[in-house]
Amino acid sequence: MSPQAAVAAGCSLSSGFNVSRVRGDFPALDQLVHGRPLVYLDNAATTQKPRVVLDALFNFYTRDCANVHRGVHELSRRATEAYEGARRTVARFLNAAPHEIVFTRGATEAINLAAQAFARSILREGDEILLTELEHHSNIVPWQLLAEQTGARLVVAPINDRGELLMEELERRLSPRTRLIAVAHVSNALGTINPVAEICRMARARGIRVLVDGAQAAPHVRIDVRALDCDFYAFSGHKLYGPTGIGVLYGKAELLERMPPYQGGGDMIRSVSFEKTLFNDPPYRFEAGTPHIAGAIGLAAAIEYLTGLGLDEIARHEYELLSAATRALSEIPGVRLVGTASHKAAVLSFVLDGIHPHDVATVLDHEGVAVRAGHHCAQPLMERLGLPATTRASFALYNTLEEVEVLARAVRRARELFG
Amino acid sequence: MALENLYQQLIMDHGRRPRNFRAIEQPTHQLEGYNPLCGDRVTVYLKVENGRVTDAAFQGVGCAISTASASLMTETIKGKTEAEVEQLFEAFHAMVTGKPVHPGVTLGKLSALAGVAAYPVRVKCATLPWHTMKGALAGAGQPVTTE
């Protein structure tokens, strides 16, 4: 097959990854928007769901719907088995142990849990929490709240104009009072892949704890929490082709065991009397109330789907999309790419001379192209870059090189319209 | 709906070359408006004498829709009484949210923004300057936000 024929057949050139077959797994991709085929490039906000995930949700609710950890009956047994099976799947995905996996509502709740149940107990007045300039609000605000509660101080590590962390500056900001570093694995606004392993090494040498916000990394980067040696790792299911409302906090077993509960309720207790309550072991201690059982099962289905396709194949395909999109947009006069780090995930932020990102996004929407325009929940980063907003195209495993061309054509159309 | 219904010639013109894009020295009313969802910011300045708007201006960063809306607003309300401005606010709001406009109110050039009604996510772009202006007239000390 010639390279052109391979593209036409939807094959990615550098791998055996068959994107047209993959697209068939995602029902939502097959639709017209404003009369044009949908080109979904807002994957950093949330991804579409493959049929296996939808089937997992449907099957749970049609066959196995029961509460977990309590019933003697058959359906409860099935629900419990599926829910705990999901925990094992997530553990394998991160290279962790199942009892180190806490199900949460999402990355945001995972970070809040680590902040309140772990960091709060180690912070004294004047202690420091180190963040970076490219954090999402969900990895800023929980620490701000905590700083107010404890008298700790937030210290911010800067980036360069390409959107890369300045590692020497980061290291210089580590002081004897630094107790915790909270850092994104991948920037949601710029796509920068941060050197989190190096940060963890620096932290380890100084006895500093590290939380990695992996919300944007999980769909793009292979994660190994043992190799990273981070203390906490947080991510969301819905950015990983799983359902909304489910997420994960990985925590080292030794830390989870020492931590007090995050919320009180059912399932997180061993025994309750009005005088005293004995708490359950991790991870159950941190999962008060009936959990999002279907969500956890759906997330496990998504992870199995991804690992079935091959995480490295997906990464290769997305790298190809990113390279093509970077080239295509760079060639358009008036386009400035925002975030040009040498290590990037498939996120492309840009601004168009004289045209506001919102107007760009409206024109693109008319061409069937879904992108995000705005500050991407990273206002301090936008402030640092001196921009009120950017337009962001973010790619997923099901996007194609043809869609990159549609994006480029739509951006040219915006330029013509606003000429 | 064709994109050109939203981005009419008049909108593009006012978006590119906004009128009254300046500060007023010693305004009688001034307020900042902010749309936290998109980062658009507008400051509206008004000079009101004997119940009539004698000057209106704005500054800020925004998309074509919000900039054109602010520009057309400042042109339109100049010379109007506060009561007339209030009527215009109601009529404009009705127009961009697809509700019937009171037949007694003439929207004139503002009608160019009628296409916004077909774009629910862009309504706040068009209304931010108007809410800010209304807040300024009401003497609100706090910046207006759309959220």
Residue A13 pLDDT more than 80? Answer: no
Residue A9, pLDDT score: 44
**Would you call A358 and B65 a contact, using CB atoms and an 8 Å cutoff?**
yes
What class, spelled out in words, does domain A53-308 have in CATH?
alpha beta
Closest alpha carbon to A345 in A228, A196, A142: A196
Count of CB pairs separated by less than 8 Å, A with B: 44
SS3 A34: coil
- Give the least confident one: A10-19, A194-203, A392-401, B26-35: A10-19
pLDDT tens track for A329-340: 999 999 999 999
Residue A268, pLDDT score: 85
Task: Enter the tokens of residue A127.
Answer: 């202690």
Average pLDDT, chain A: 94
d(CA B78, CA B74): 6
Three-point CA angle A15, A19, A24, nearest 5°: 150
Mean pLDDT of B103-127: 93
d(CA A106, CA A109): 5
Q: Is A65 known to be catalytic?
A: no
pLDDT tens track for B42-56: 999 999 999 999 999
**Would you call B39 and A382 a contact, using CB atoms and an 8 Å cutoff?**
yes
pLDDT tens track for B61-72: 899 999 999 999
Q: How confident is the model at residue A201 (pLDDT cuts 50, 70, 90)?
A: very high
pLDDT tens track for A34-46: 999 999 999 999 9
Residue A276, pLDDT score: 85
Give alpha helix (H) positions in A310-393.
311-330, 357-366, 379-385
Contact A328, A404 (CB under 8 A): yes
Residue A150, pLDDT score: 97
> Is some CB atom of chain B closer than 8 A to the CB atom of A245?
no
Q: How confident is the model at residue B37 (pLDDT cuts 50, 70, 90)?
A: confident
pLDDT tens track for A255-296: 999 999 999 888 888 888 888 888 899 999 999 999 999 999
pLDDT tens track for B74-106: 999 999 999 999 999 999 999 999 999 998 899
Three-point CA angle A204, A116, A249, nearest 5°: 65
> Is some CB atom of chain B closer than 8 A to the CB atom of A352?
no
pLDDT tens track for A166-187: 999 999 999 999 999 999 999 9
Residue B35, pLDDT score: 86
**Would you call B39 and A379 a contact, using CB atoms and an 8 Å cutoff?**
yes
Q: Exposed, middle or buried: residue B76 (CB in 10 Å: 0-12, 13-18, 19+)?
A: buried
Burial state string for A99-127 with b = 16 or more CB within 10 A and e = fewer than 16: bbbbbbbbbbbbbbbbbbbbbbeebeeeb
d(CA A309, CA B127): 47
> Is some CB atom of chain B closer than 8 A to the CB atom of A121?
no
Residue A28 pLDDT more than 90? Answer: yes
d(CA A26, CA A398): 8
Q: What is the percent of chain A where pLDDT is above 90?
A: 87
Residue A271, pLDDT score: 86
SS3 A245: coil
> Is some CB atom of chain B closer than 8 A to the CB atom of A384?
no
What lies within 8 Å, CB to CB, of B48 at 6+ separation is B28, B29, B54, B82, B137
Residue A307 pLDDT more than 60? Answer: yes
Contact A208, A179 (CB under 8 A): yes
ipTM of this predicted structure: 0.86
CB-nearest partner of B125 from A355, A358, A418? A358
Contact A323, A297 (CB under 8 A): no
Chain A: give the shortest CA distance to residue B81, in Å: 33
> Is some CB atom of chain B closer than 8 A to the CB atom of A372?
no
d(CA B65, CA A275): 62
**Would you call A389 and B64 a contact, using CB atoms and an 8 Å cutoff?**
no
Domains of chain B: 3-140 (3.90.1010.10)
Determine how β-strand A390-394 pairs with β-strand A372-374: antiparallel
In the sheet with A390-394, reading across from the earlier edge strand, the strands are A335-338, A347-352, A390-394, A372-374
d(CA B114, CA B116): 5
- Give the least confident one: A147-161, A196-210, A231-245, B5-19: B5-19
Q: CA-based diameter of chain B, in Å?
A: 44
Q: How confident is the model at residue B145 (pLDDT cuts 50, 70, 90)?
A: confident
Residue A106 pLDDT more than 80? Answer: yes
Residue A12, pLDDT score: 44
Residue A1 pLDDT more than 50? Answer: no
Chain B: give the shortest CA distance to residue A385, in Å: 14
Catalytic annotation, pick one of A11, A200, A230, A377: A377
Q: How confident is the model at residue B5 (pLDDT cuts 50, 70, 90)?
A: confident
Residue A357, pLDDT score: 94
Q: Where are the domains of chain A?
A: 3-30+311-418, 53-308
Chain A: give the shortest CA distance to residue B130, in Å: 19
> Is some CB atom of chain B closer than 8 A to the CB atom of A366?
yes
Q: What is the DSSP letter of A137?
A: G
Q: How confident is the model at residue A10 (pLDDT cuts 50, 70, 90)?
A: very low
A119 vs A265, which has greater pLDDT?
A119
Is the CATH number 3.20.20.70 carried by domain A3-30+311-418?
Answer: no
Residue A419 pLDDT more than 90? Answer: no
CA distances from residue A37 to A24, A119, A417 in whole angstroms, order as listed: 14, 47, 21
